[in-house]
Structure 1
Amino acid sequence: MGRGRRSVLAVAVTVVCAVTVLGASGTAFASAGPDRAPTQPATTSLTLPSSSPTPSSSSSPSPSASSVTAPPDKDLEAVRTKLDQLYHDAAVATDAYNAAEEKAQQQSAEVVGLSQKIVEQQRKLDDLKDRAGAAARAQYRTGGLPPQAQLLLSNDPQQFLDGAGRVLEGERATSGLLQDMTHAQQDLQQYASDAADRLQELEANRKAKATAQKRIQQRIKEAEQLQARLEKRQRERLAQLERQAAQQAQAAWLDTGILKEIGGSATEADKKAVAYATAQIGKPYEWGAEGPKTYDCSGLTSQAWAAAGHPVPRTSQEQWKQLKHVSVKDMRPGDLIIYFGDASHVAMYVGDGRIVHAPRPGRTVTLAGAGTMPILGVVRPDAD
């Protein structure tokens, strides 16, 4: 095997090995479970008494009641606000993780495809070289004289005429062979270059996933530590405050009279998507999860619409960017409602002013009021 061939095949082997290694790290992240992209992260800190501990990587996520001091009851509303910030930041980072994961999967497939092309192109080039070598050997066996010279030395006029035609054909074939070899070599180099570019992008996405995963885990840990400081009665009061805030937001949304304007009828695809999403009610939230046992918010909506025969982008931000926008008053069951200014949360509208969604870590897929969070807009997966 020639040196050039060995080097190209080595590139193909390196490509496949690199995809295997990078793919393994992606699998490891996915098994840990994440959710989405970092946009406008919450950096404000909770204003509580000085006794509140600063989260650190060495502190336990579930400190005992004797090792911490519960905040005063008057600060529970501040605790609720801080938790909302932490979980929102985790949701944004989850979108980043999901986006990087999706791109990495696409790039892995592209790299594997390019490596196969590299091997196939090398085989084609080797075949062309073998044919060129055979032509050279044939010329050597005839004394090294070119076909034109052999014809001029021939004493047979008919042989000369017959041979002249074969010479022209041979010249054309030789010229074509050289052109094919040049093109094959150029294609081979291009495939190798493209594979190297995809590998660099794959590595960049691996790092983006790792960064997003770290941020998600940090924010969730901070939230868990904050909640662990609360006494049982305070946790119950906090849950009550959360319900009250949601009820007030929903009531304010309904008071606009918007529900009287919403009257769109669901299509068959809408009904299938709604049926899938509502069948998941009660299953735990897990960042980066797409079912069937756990979901994050966009994992739920993307899988529901995949089940309905209309695949949609994996993340809430891409769902907002790529799907058709419709007005709130024109929405119908099955449409997706995108929340917050950074499109960091998504839910499915199921009718009667309600949504089904996967809220956040520690919660389960549930029904809620469509107006309980700030609505950015509505998108329709089956607009076509």
Structure 2
Amino acid sequence: MTAAAAVLALLGPLAAPAAADPSADEVRKRLKTAAHQLEVVVEQYNDLRLEVKRGHQEADRLRARIAPLERTAQARSSEVGTIAAAAYRTGRAANVIGLLHSGSPQALGDKLAMLEALGTQRGRAIEALAAANRDVAAAQEGLNALAAKERTQGAKLLAKKRHIEAEIARLDALRFDLGISDLPPILEDPPALPPGAASAAVRFAYAQLGKPYEWGASGPRGYDCSGLTAAAWRAAGVNLPHNARAQYGAVAHIGRGQLRPGDLVFYYGNIQHVGLYVGGGRIIHAPQHGERIRFDRADYQPVHGYGRPRR
């Protein structure tokens, strides 16, 4: 035993057994998890873009409302200035002073009334202009806050996105080494549907089958989940926001038994995914990074709810 111990000491510690390579199923599972994480980030980024867009629209509405106030105030101010200048040139200001000493109650009352009206009018114009300027300043402050939020959150989301994409690239390489390949997309002709907006949306979705998932995209070469559903309904003349949660807030909510082709199916508790129902218990959707637009069962993931876009 002493001799054996000496030999082991000379040889050094035994090497640990090499970790077994992950199985194809494990690689697929890890890919799916990483891609799902990326989709969450994409929808957060889409939500942030919508928030900033709404801020700009609100500022535009404020400016449109303020512009007439500014023009009115400026016109009144110019009118007051013109009257004052005319009075100075013609000497009417001196006449007013004379009237104050003329002892004529009627002339004095008329002039005081004119001066009071002039002062009130000018005061209102100045106050209107000041209020307009306050509204513009508030809108600009809101815009600046939104821009700062976009820069801060956008940088965080971009950093997270790059981290997840790096993980997906590593797993893609491992999948390639193991010879794992995705099945080709199933292509079909759209079903015969009654003419209308829903039929147009379904036909559009069928025409996108096989195109790649592309984060933040709404076509024509690729789409993310909410980009596909927004584009499908845009082709039908209905505008939907490019964000799954925002789309859920924009549609009429329906039950599972009410589903018709063209309706939307929303997934996960915090609404991270959306697909377009095409009938027969199936959806067409842009699944996630590394995959192509395809069919899936409507209940392929936990369903949050169902919605019908308002025509």
TM-score (norm 1): 0.64
1:89 is aligned to 37
The farther-off stretch of 275-284 and 205-214 is 205-214
- 1:346 Cα deviation after fit: 0.9
* Distance change (3 Å), C-alpha of 1:266 and 1:376: farther
Match of 1:76 among 17, 20, 24: 24
Amino acid at match of 1:369: R
Equivalent AA in structure 1 for residue 254 of structure 2: V
Structure 1: unaligned runs, 5 residues or longer: 1-48, 53-70, 244-264
Q: RCO greater where, 1 or 2, for CA within 8 Å and sep 6 or more?
A: 1
* CA contact 1:104–1:206 (8 Å) conserved in 2: no
Is structure 2 residue 95 aligned with structure 1 residue 150? Answer: no
Compared with structure 1, are the counterparts of its residues 189 and 340 closer, same or farther at alpha carbon in structure 2 (3 Å cutoff)? closer
Q: How many Å apart are 1:373 and its aligned residue?
A: 2.5
Q: Which residue in 1 is equivalent to 2:6?
A: none
Q: Distance in 2 between matches of 1:212 and 1:51?
A: 36
Q: Helix, strand or coil: the match of 1:283?
A: coil
Conserved? CA contact 1:89–1:219, under 8 Å? yes
User: Aligned equivalents of 1:361 and 1:50: distance in 2?
Assistant: 34
- The reply on whether 1:217 has 2:162 as its aligned counterpart is yes
Give the structure 1 partner of residue 244 of structure 2: 316
Q: Which residue of 2 aligns with 1:186?
A: 131
Per-residue CA deviations over 1:172-204 (Å, capped at 9, x if unaligned) read 233212221122122212221221122212321
Q: Distance in 2 between matches of 1:147 and 1:51?
A: 106
1:97 deviates by: 0.6
Q: CA deviation at 1:281?
A: 1.6
Residue type of the partner of 1:104? V
State the match for 1:226 in structure 2.
171
Deviation at 1:227, TM superposition (A): 2.3
Q: Equivalences for 1:360-371 in 2 at 5 Å? A: 360-371=288-299
* Residue equivalent to 1:303: 231
- Residues 53-202 of structure 1: matches in 2 within 5 Å? 72=21, 75-111=23-59, 125-141=73-89, 142=91, 144-145=93-94, 147=96, 149-150=98-99, 153=102, 165=110, 168-202=113-147
Following superposition, the deviation at residue 301 of structure 1 comes to 0.2
2:282 maps to amino acid: R
Report % sequence identity. Answer: 28
**Secondary structure of the structure 2 residue equivalent to 1:235:** coil
Relative to structure 1, is the Cα distance of residues 79 and 353 closer, same or farther in structure 2, using a 3 angstrom cutoff?
same
What amino acid is the match of 2:122? Answer: L
List per-residue Cα deviations over 1:269-318 (Å, max 9, x = no partner): 21111011111122221100011221111001011112212222321122
In structure 1, the partner of 2:303 is 375
Q: Matches of 2:65 and 2:148 in 1, distance apart?
A: 21
Partner of residue 263 from structure 2, selected from 335, 342, 357: 335
* Number of aligned residue pairs: 287
Structure with higher Rg: it is 2
**1:204-353 → structure 2 map (5 Å cutoff):** 204-236=149-181, 239=182, 268-353=196-281
- Letter paired with 2:43: D
* Distance in 2 of aligned mates of 1:272 and 1:148: 79
Residues 271 and 333 of structure 1 are in contact (CA less than 8 Å); yes or no, is this contact kept in structure 2? yes
Shift of 1:334: 0.5
Going from structure 1 to structure 2, the CA distance change for 1:368 and 1:215 (only over 3 Å counts) comes to same
1:289 is paired with a residue whose SS is: coil
Q: Deviations over 1:346-379 (max 9, x none)?
A: 1111111221111112222222332332322211
- Shift of residue 166, structure 1, vs aligned partner: 6.1
How far apart are the structure 2 equivalents of 1:51 and 1:286? 37
Which letter maps to 2:197?
A
Question: The residue matched to 2:150 in structure 1 has which SS?
Answer: helix
Tell me if the contact between 1:91 and 1:216 (Cα under 8 Å) persists in the aligned partners. no
**Are the counterparts in 1 of residues 209 and 292 from structure 2 also a CA contact under 8 Å?**
yes
Question: In the alignment, is the contact (CA less than 8 A) between 1:107 and 1:202 conserved in 2?
Answer: no
The answer on whether the counterparts of 1:333 and 1:350 sit within 8 Å (CA) in structure 2 is: yes
Structure-2 change in CA distance of 1:307 and 1:184 (3 Å): same
Counterpart Cα distance in 2 of 1:91 and 1:99? 12
| 1:135-185 superposed Cα distances (whole Å, 9 cap, x missing partner) | 44445453754737426538xx8xx86785465345323321222112212
Retained in 2: the 8 A contact 1:114–1:192?
no
Q: Which moved more, 1:134-143 or 1:85-94?
A: 134-143
One-letter identity of the residue aligned with 1:213: L
SS in structure 1 of the partner of residue 180 of structure 2: helix
Task: Find the counterpart in structure 1 of residue 7 from structure 2.
Answer: none
| Match of residue 252 from structure 1 | none
**Superposed displacement of residue 93, structure 1:** 0.7
Q: Equivalent residue of 2:233, what SS?
A: helix
Cα offset, 1:380, TM superposition: 1.2
Residues 91 and 344 of structure 1: is their aligned pair in 2 closer, same or farther, counting only changes over 3 Å?
same
Q: Is the 8 A contact 2:55 2:142 kept in 1?
A: no
CA contact (8 A) 2:229 2:275 kept: yes
